[in-house]
Structure 1
Amino acid sequence: MKATWLLGMAMMSTGAHAATREETIDAWMRDYTGQVPGASVLVLEGGDAVFQRSYGLADLEAGVASSPTTNYRLASVSKQFTAASVLLLVEDGVLTLDDPVRRWLPTLPVATETITLRHLLSHTSGLIDYEDLLPPDQAHQIHDADVLRLLEREDRLYFPAGSDYRYSNSGYALLALVVERASGQRFAAFLQARIFSPLGMRATLAREDEGPPVTDRAFGYTLVGDRWERTDQSTTSAVLGDGGIYSSITDLAKWDAVWYDDRLLSAPSRALAVQASTATPEPDVAHYGFGWRLQGRMQWHSGESIGFRNVLLRFPAQRLTVIVLSNRDAPEPYRLARQIAALWNGTP
């Protein structure tokens, strides 16, 4: 009888604790609730979804509510998939991390001759930021191939390859082109064939105008004065390698799961991706791996582009992951995700 009573009290306590967490997160997400651009939040513990909830609207004009299957533009969280694509081709024996980038993209200028794929992955290439090379009156969207054309005209680097760290969207746009050259497939098609389809990420895709539409799509917004304006695309939103993937918390749960087994990448490849080899001066980023920011026990990445702010945090030793996706320009949800994680692991 006593054992049964103690078990019942423990179950009641656990239930109350879970309710408190839910109520706390709901309170923190209050600004995303109602007729405003929303967000989707997922907490995974031991591979199970212990919290999953969406707030606000994915499409203000149509009044479509956000849901766990809403697909948000991941922005720079996409870099994890670009890096994984390169590692898959390394495992295929098609390329190596120490290949000079000019082996695959020979039209790059002489200044880039010492840059390797490893430098591109770790943001140590010294490449010029392509965003700074766009003319002020740029009207049409550019693509990864346009990034290459812009860099072909820049026979200079910020620093010699491998000598420093500077976060580089240019590097990841070039990596998408390397994947295309090495695989013989469009980057979006390679992602679909080698990552999304095998993992059952059925609604995730790298968005192309001529490609399949984004289902359950969230549109991005910016608060202008006291009203939300749709700001879903910019001139750089069609560049895929650095930020063009759309996904949902439902599909990203499947992405998180493959970092614990060999279904996608071998253990050595996974270890390379999160190897703390490149020190950075960025806040909460002691090192950068391949598509992963590394800080203590945490592996993470944020994604910021016009109309979207996202973050994915992993604490692999605890099997704890927090994902926050939002379709608005502000606020940046990194601190919020850290607060949510602290409800489970006690680390602020």
Structure 2
Amino acid sequence: MKKIITLFFCIFMFNSTQAQPFNAALATMLQDTLNTYVGQISNIKGMEASVYIPGQGIWTGVTGNSYTGQPITAGMRMGIASNTKLFVATVMLMLAEENVLSLDDHLSNWLPAYPNINPNITIRQLLNHKSGISDPLFVSPWMDTIMANPTRVFTPAEVMGWVGAPLFAAGTGWGYSNINYILAGMVAQQATGIHISQLIRDRILTPLNMDSTFYDVEEPENGTIAHRWWNNVDYNDTSRVGLNTAGGCAGAVFSTSAEMVQWYHALFSGQLINQASLNQMETFVPTGSSTYQYGLGLSRETTQGKTYWGHGGTTWGYRSKMIQDTCLNVSVCGLTNSYPSGMEAVTFLLYRVVKNHIPGCSGAITGPGTVCTGTDAVVYSVPPIPNATSYSWTLPSGATGSSATNSISVNFGAAATSGNIIVRGVNTYGPGGYAQLAVTVHQTPSPVIAQNGTVASSANVCANETYTYTTPAIAGSTYVWTVTGGTILSGQGTSQISVQWNSGTAGNISVVQTVP
């Protein structure tokens, strides 16, 4: 009988005004799920998992062993295998944003010719696996070569010599190939003069303080490595050099589950690349499966009727699985030190626990997006949120209001500033998904009209002369001027008009300014 040793940890990150400790009841349910299903799957030696929920932070749980007598502990590093690919895709999009390269560049723009690799393949086709390049890494005879030479450093150019005939003409089909990402890393180095491992470090890991993550062989180990088990054999004493230099940036990164959900949160909240780049990453192409499509280093999958983004990873002795719920903004990571194993199913079950218990996705907030200071009783509302028993509202600085329902009345005081209105559903298991509305707050315009630049409550004019009248301008405002005793010559609808006054009569001038 397998002995399971379990621990769980709640780690709180991404502090905000809405942050609170990870819900204890939900944490217990997640740990129980991890214990139960890992205990039922005999080929999982040990597993670490993390869940990030906006407004709650990160839960991390562990179960099982690194090796006999040594339990898995939170923070042990494990190979994430093909989840490395999203790091590479993100770096390539960063370089494209900086015009260092274009995703529509051909390989021939950057690399020499290699047998069986079409030089007209684009970088984009590498990243979404539409290149047609075959994958020799984990089939004979090259898998046997790697296994027989565990300490040998294989070069990318050497690995390119292993590539067989194309699977299809570039752009005409889809086929997953690790060679695509090795080539992408080669392009990045050629374009910048910097190895892809250093680009990942400088552009992603260091800015996000991911100090438990490292690129194997190119960087030193930075913590305790969980023993890797392949077919129930402990491979910890077998060098990883051959494996992770042959596979390179297709799968050489090691990390922890907590840092992986931290990374997903940062990426999909726009902290690393702009929205246009995210849109490219999230452009999914058909793969031949109705439940699996592929973007740039990212997949879209449907399991038991639930659709999410993420990626899997498999290498000799480790497996990883990432899940991103784009509606709830929830991230889930599972890592195991066992291959083969059924850990992907366990990761999905953890996601299902969260999905079924926290408040669901929020619809859009309705209400004005522009207001003036001094405006009271402005109503904002959101459709009822599934599973929510109450609601939590966050308002811009200087705005006041309180509500535990899906509607709130807001007063914008004299000191109110522009910001976001945020609402979350809340229940026994804590806050869930959120919606936000950006609100622009304008200072209430001063009720003054200046004649030729001078402000006064009344003024003398000369008959048949033309005068200029202005009122404070606010971008986007509309202006309706009314003049008696004179004629508006120009400017109606703007903050400045020209008026010619009639002879022998008094007159009045007024303006109604509508702020958007």
Q: TM-score per shorter chain, which class?
A: 0.7 to 0.9
Structure number with bigger Rg: 2
Between Structure 1 and Structure 2, which shows a larger proportion of strand residues?
A: 2
TM-score with structure 1 setting the length: 0.83
Change (3 A) 1:134 1:116: farther
**Could you say what secondary structure the match of 2:340 adopts?**
coil
Aligned to 1:145: 157
- The one-letter code matched in structure 1 to 2:83 is V
Equivalent residues of 1:234, 1:306 under 8 A apart: no
| Deviating more after overlay: 138-147 vs 296-305 | 138-147
Task: Determine which of 287, 304, 312 is the counterpart of 1:302.
Answer: 312
Highest RCO, 1 vs 2 (Cα 8 Å, sep ≥ 6): 1
Residue pairs, 1:126-165, within 5 angstroms: 126-131=132-137, 132=139, 134-135=141-142, 138=145, 139-140=148-149, 141=152, 142-151=154-163, 156-165=165-174
Task: Determine which of 19, 30, 39 is the counterpart of 2:39.
Answer: 30
Aligned to 2:349: 339
Equivalent residues of 1:144, 1:176 under 8 A apart: no
Task: Determine which of 168, 172, 180 is the counterpart of 1:171.
Answer: 180
Aligned length: 321
Aligned to 1:186: 195
TM-score with structure 2 setting the length: 0.58
Distance 1:200 1:47 in 2: 20
Change (3 A) 1:16 1:47: closer
Structure 1 residue 229 displacement after superposition: 2.6
**Could you say what secondary structure the match of 1:254 adopts?**
helix
**Could you say what secondary structure the match of 1:317 adopts?**
coil
Structure 1 residue 22 displacement after superposition: 3.3
Aligned to 2:266: 258
Distance 1:133 1:183 in 2: 34
Change (3 A) 1:17 1:117: closer
Task: Determine which of 63, 68, 75 is the counterpart of 2:74.
Answer: 68
Change (3 A) 1:19 1:47: same
Equivalent residues of 2:216, 2:244 under 8 A apart: no
- The one-letter code matched in structure 1 to 2:168 is F
Structure 1 residue 49 displacement after superposition: 3.8
Equivalent residues of 1:310, 1:332 under 8 A apart: no
Aligned to 2:129: 123
Task: Determine which of 309, 315, 318 is the counterpart of 2:325.
Answer: 315
Structure 1 residue 15 displacement after superposition: 5.4
Change (3 A) 1:102 1:17: closer
Aligned to 2:111: 105
Query: In angstroms, what is the RMSD of aligned CA positions?
Result: 2.6
- The one-letter code matched in structure 1 to 2:63 is Y
Aligned to 2:458: none
Change (3 A) 1:65 1:159: same
Distance 2:338 2:184 in 1: 28
Distance 1:39 1:84 in 2: 27
Structure 1 residue 258 displacement after superposition: 1.2
Deviations, residues 271-324 of structure 1 (Å, cap 9, x unaligned): 211212x10124731x10001111254101110111011101110211112111
Equivalent residues of 1:40, 1:52 under 8 A apart: yes
Change (3 A) 1:15 1:169: closer
Distance 1:213 1:50 in 2: 24
Structure 1 gap ranges (5+): 1-13
Aligned to 1:236: 243
Asked if 1:55 corresponds to 2:63, the answer is: yes
Distance 2:204 2:349 in 1: 31
Distance 1:241 1:16 in 2: 39
- The one-letter code matched in structure 1 to 2:88 is T
- The one-letter code matched in structure 2 to 1:230 is Y
Aligned to 1:6: none
Asked if 1:92 corresponds to 2:92, the answer is: no
Distance 1:244 1:255 in 2: 16
Equivalent residues of 1:145, 1:177 under 8 A apart: no
Deviations, residues 56-102 of structure 1 (Å, cap 9, x unaligned): 233x27x5432231111111111111111111111111100100012
Between Structure 1 and Structure 2, which shows a larger proportion of helix residues?
A: 1
Distance 1:37 1:137 in 2: 25
Task: Determine which of 222, 230, 241 is the counterpart of 1:222.
Answer: 230
Equivalent residues of 1:133, 1:150 under 8 A apart: no
Equivalent residues of 2:226, 2:337 under 8 A apart: yes
Equivalent residues of 2:286, 2:294 under 8 A apart: yes
**Could you say what secondary structure the match of 1:280 adopts?**
strand
Asked if 1:201 corresponds to 2:210, the answer is: yes
- The one-letter code matched in structure 1 to 2:315 is S
Structure 1 residue 133 displacement after superposition: 7.2
Distance 2:117 2:209 in 1: 42
Structure 2 gap ranges (5+): 1-22, 358-516
Aligned to 1:248: 256
Distance 1:23 1:215 in 2: 27
Aligned to 2:286: 279
